[in-house]
Structure 1
């Protein structure tokens, strides 16, 4: 079994940016890869992936029944992969009611976990989801928060249990029983070559510094933003004006009130302090 490398993060923490970089690196082409052609890094919760691999329509199952089958899906993908498989995932690392992990260790080579200051996450998450800042801050503190969890509509992704921001981070960083490489979004911005190269080495990929630099150049924020402007982005939320908005570090200072920032700190101070955000 070759094993899956998980590209794990709480939403709006740089996961898609990293996937664009990785696609450009693996493709090693002479021009930037399209943001709508990230086939090297599929999404673990994609409904079509489940339907095609399991052979049962997810729409015929409850969310709980789907969860019970998802570990089998990942084992199957790991067993049939002919090369290292990188999968984006927003689920927290959790156990099913029967105590099996949603993410089976035996199907896993490792995880690259991306973490971002929750003050900036709140701003980006709000614009992505169409929520106001107060609602977003409240949701980020909920252990019950899910993506695609409503039963009144059919989403193109399966239900994902996010937990609170702090719980999500700790579930992967402290509880996951396989090798993990932690990347801070802020380091990805401040020292991209060093930070991305560390993830490349962790994944056992053999690329030169020049190839990493070119993949980074092809994944520059202005290129991604222009691609979205010209051709759209199929992963953009219907509630969002655009997916690639600013990508800045510290944008919360221009967007959040002192009271809103204080609420985030009150909810997540312990984990924020651990990762250098206080």
Structure 2
């Protein structure tokens, strides 16, 4: 294994800005004037990729039970870093930071160099997730509050990925940011919009993406929501859910103010008060901030 090898996980709850950040990395690493094709964001396989697992296991993982797949996943990541990796890898992951029965993290302690956790206001996540999952906002809010919530567990509908246990939105966040055996850097989606250069620079430094400010600024512009949405409009996006009309919908912060009912806001705050307060999304009384 190369001394520079290892995996940085780009971790997030679905629809929190992970793809946006991957587009930034792809543009930063390429370092050219033309933006990278959104259908060629070669920052690495998603952690739940069935193809990644099957290639290294040498057999079809669809024949295994979910628990058996989870026990094998750390081995796959460990093998990748030990035998194949020549440099740092940046892999998207939506799973919560889970531990197996033996205490081993799902992502492998040896293979993991750290995690960038991309955090977004759950009031906005609920809206984006409802479009992505093809369900009502109320249903999305319900799923986000379930401690046993899992995605891609139906092999027939999501054959390219294995099941991913998300837990509730709050549990997902805390599983990563409070893990005592993981280097983790948290960046808020809202700060990525409001103070882009500072946020992306801090994230880049953590991920050992050595780059000058001018290169970071160029990559930020190249991966702007407007450019990503325009590419999707022109050529489509292979990561778009079949249940969603578009992947890149608005890219704004605070859309919840014009979309959610008072009852829906109250439910999300009730479900996630502690984590929302900790990361500056609500005040002491539980009222959401508008910035």
Q: Which residue of 1 aligns with 2:240?
A: 236
Distance, in Å, in 2 between the alignment partners of 1:191 and 1:166 is: 25
Q: Determine if contact 1:141/1:267 at 8 Å carries over to the other structure.
A: yes
2:188 equivalent in structure 1:
184
TM-score by length of 2: 0.93
User: Judging changes above 3 Å, is the alpha-carbon distance between structure 1 residues 233 and 88 closer, same or farther for their aligned structure 2 residues?
Assistant: same
8 Å Cα contact 2:9/2:115 also seen in 1: yes
Q: How far apart are the structure 1 equivalents of 2:161 and 2:204?
A: 28
Q: For 2:236 and 2:61, locate their aligned partners in 1 and report how far apart those are by CA, in whole Å.
A: 27
Q: Cα RMSD over matched residues? A: 1.2
Gaps of 5+ in 1: none
Residue 165 (structure 1) aligned to one of 165, 169, 174: 169
Counterpart selection for 1:116 from 103, 120, 128: 120
CA distance in 2, matches of 1:101, 1:179: 13
- CA separation in 2, counterparts of 1:96 and 1:131? 31
The corresponding residue for 2:264 is: 260
2:248 and 2:74 map into 1 onto residues whose CA distance is: 31
- Secondary structure, counterpart of 2:92 in structure 1: strand
Distance 2:155 2:224 in 1: 37
1:43 corresponds in structure 2 to 46
Report the Cα offset of residue 190 of structure 1. 0.2
Residue 151 of structure 1, CA deviation: 4.9
Match of 1:211 in 2: 215
Aligned partner of 1:29 in structure 2 is: 32
* Count of matched residue pairs: 278
What is the SS of the residue equivalent to 2:38?
Answer: coil
1:93–1:176 contact (8 Å) kept in structure 2: no
Q: Secondary structure at the match of 2:110?
A: helix
What secondary structure is seen at the aligned counterpart in 1 of 2:14? coil
CA contact (8 A) 2:166 2:172 kept: yes
- Give the 5 Å matches for 1:31-180: 31-79=34-82, 80-151=84-155, 153-175=157-179, 177-180=181-184
